[in-house]
Chains A and B, each alone.
Chain A
Amino acid sequence: MLLADEAQHFVRAPDWTWYILFYFFLAGLSGGSYVIATLFRLRGGRSDEPAARLGYYVAFLALLLCPILLTLDLGKPLRFWHMMWNTTPGDAGLTLKYWSPMSVGVWALVVFGAFATVSFVEALVRDQKIRLPLARRAVRLLDGTLGKVVITVGAVFGLFIAGYTGVLLAVSNQPVWSDTWALGGLFLASGLSGSAALLLFLLRYRPEAEASADTLIISERLYALLELALIVVFVLTLIPAGALGIAFGFPWILLWLVAFAGLAPGIGGLLTARLAVTGEGVAVPVHSGSVATSVATSRPKSVATSVAIPGLVLLGVLALRAAVIFSIQ
């Protein structure tokens, strides 16, 4: 018999599976990359600008797939626009329910999509991939305060997009999901650590952004720490609900192990080197000390390391979401 103080759920799982898993994954990376890019541009040095643009590229490209995945997941994909336009006879019109994270999230996606597109085009123009005079004139509008406001607001929406998916799960009556308030923060933190790892990996293809590698390494460590802290909160909130066994039982524990493995580089780096980038003991793909010098010519670490570490982190980000999504379905 059920314990009296345990949360009881007599619900059916919504069958949110692969499409949603990869949407959650990409939303975390898109929002996270936009946030990191904005931090680089607003608070970094001039040498961080190439990495900022890289972040805006990633944010846009990761976001491109999101609406497709969400639409394919619908039982009636051609009615995707019903999310924004209520077609109830006699009550037709725009619809936004602030108390339904899915409704809020759809609008946030639309708004964030606009910001991600603007920043993407801006980065293309600044990188001289687009040479239209009109585009250059438009981008010049973003040179001053307006540009800062745009990316700041965009970053707020980026934070929202990366995190609200966890709140969406919590606003239900499903076991595990609705037994905790930590999922929104957890997805946000893991999205950010995944974004830092992904950008770090992509630096291979953008040598002029290498100057930002150290910042990304330290960011990744701090986000990993934040994520670990939120996993602890997640566990602590599940204990009184009696849902720990559902979320961490076999075979899901295997996914959690992958998620923890993804945290290992960041947490390990923090333990051995704290906030310094020493290049020793830490499997980081960057040779420190010569950051500002031509790093591109002196890559000390093997390709395997510089691919494997970010790959592991990203796999962890995916596994974390998979464990949360699939363990109750």
Chain B
Amino acid sequence: MAQITPGQAYGFFTDTSVCIGCKACEVACKTWNELPANEPVFGDGYDNTGRLDAQNWRHVQFIDNVPDKSLGTGQGKAWLMMSDVCKHCQHASCMDVCPTGAIIRTEFDSVYIQPDVCNGCRNCIAACPYDVISQDEDKGVAQKCTLCYDRLQGGMEPACAKACPTESIQFGPVEELQRAARQRVTDLHEQGVPEARLYGDDSSIYGGLNAFFLLMDEPEAYHLPNKENAVRPGRNNAGGYLGALGTAVLAVLGGLIALRRRREPAAETPSGADTTSPPSPETEAGED
């Protein structure tokens, strides 16, 4: 691994075609970042991590498509494995909505939640389209993958990439990784694996993902939004406020109508106390 220099964009290229589901990345991540272990779960599959959250910053997804009958070679499609992680988006939804400024872009171009600044409002959780962030129950703040910020500052690659035995997780400068990934997908296509595709290597998904993937199926199969659905929360600002503004105008109008309507019949009442003149503050004060 070449020297890690601040000012350059670093990230992961996770090549799911060679992931064997060993979870070394999960273990290495937990060990380095001192994340609490999970309760043992013995469910229907090999996934006893569940999902990314405050204490799981790498999660190996096991997507079981094994057919009931043998259909020949599966080409790695029957059972998809993918080590999921924070994507460190160029246009990060979490960063968009964070009201405290706790979520920053570091000198390595990663998206980092400062635990000392976050106050646990959970707006980033509502915004993240990848279900990456959750609130740490003990610390009370939002947590996710830091791209091993402390290791990068010490010139070391992230723990998960270091531990991955098949180089499914590759760490490096994003541009280098993109080049390698495009070569890899070309190679796979030539080898007769047409389903291989890249996700997030270009700007079509959230302006580009610093942690991007080679997938063996549609993004949706991995619980990743496709190009059409990869949208930022801020898209609803204009429409939401305009809708509220239109309502506000109509509501004020309604209030005025109600005031006028009332005054007409009221004027017919014998007392006629309801004059049409607005309250005179002078007399008001005088009454006081």
Measured CB to CB, the residues of A under 8 A from B are 2, 7-16, 35-36, 39-49, 73-76, 79-80, 82-83, 86-88, 91, 95, 97, 99-103, 106, 125-126, 128, 136, 139-140, 142-144, 147, 159-160, 163-164, 166-174, 177-178, 181-186, 188-189, 192, 211-212, 214-216, 218-219, 222-223, 225-226, 230, 233, 275-277, 288-293
Contacts and interface: CB of A to CB of B under 8 A. Distances in A.
B207 interface: no
Interface stretch (B13-21, B32-40, B178-186, B248-256): B248-256
Nearest to A225: B254
B97 to A, nearest CB: 5
Given A10-B225, A47-B273, 8 more contacts: A74-B120, A86-B117, A100-B98, A102-B97, A144-B281, A214-B262, A219-B255, A223-B251
Q: Which 9 A-B pairs have the closest CB atoms?
A: A75-B120, A181-B239, A75-B140, A185-B247, A184-B244, A167-B240, A222-B254, A79-B119, A143-B281
Contact of B100 (A44, A82, A288): A82
Given A8-B229, A47-B273, A164-B244, A82 B102 contact: yes
A83 B120 CA distance: 10
A99 B122 contact: no
Given A88-B104, A99-B96, A188 B247 contact: yes
A10 B256 contact: no
B206 to A, nearest CB: 11
Given A39-B259, A147-B281, A164-B244, A136 B123 contact: no
Contact of A12 (B96, B131, B231, B282): B131
Interface of B: 51, 53, 93, 96-102, 104, 114, 116-123, 125-131, 133-136, 139-142, 220, 223-226, 229, 231, 233-234, 236-237, 239-244, 246-248, 250-252, 254-259, 261-263, 265-266, 269-282, 284-285, 288
B98 A171 contact: no
B244 A185 contact: yes
Given A10-B130, A178-B236, A211-B274, A292 B101 contact: no
A291 B270 CA distance: 10
B285 A226 contact: no
Contacts of A188: 244, 247-248, 251
B140 to A, nearest CB: 3
A226 B116 CA distance: 44
8 contacts: A7-B229, A46-B275, A46-B277, A47-B273, A73-B121, A75-B136, A76-B119, A86-B101
B215 to A, nearest CB: 14
A222 B126 contact: no
Contact of B288 (A73, A75, A126, A277): A126
B243 A181 contact: yes
A94 B166 CA distance: 47
A74 B116 CA distance: 14
B141 A75 contact: yes
Given A75-B122, A171-B233, A226-B247, A215 B226 contact: no
A42 B278 contact: yes
A216 B136 CA distance: 47
A314 to B, nearest CB: 18
B229 to A, nearest CB: 4
A293 B53 CA distance: 65
Contacts of B276: 45
B204 to A, nearest CB: 16
B133 to A, nearest CB: 7
A192 B255 CA distance: 10
A36 B252 CA distance: 9
Contacts of B273: 45, 47, 211, 292
Given A171-B236, A218-B262, A48 B279 contact: yes
A182 B243 CA distance: 6
The residue among B121, B234, B261, B266 with the most chain A CB atoms within 10 A of its own CB is: B121
A226 B250 contact: yes
Contacts of A173: 93, 126-129, 231, 233
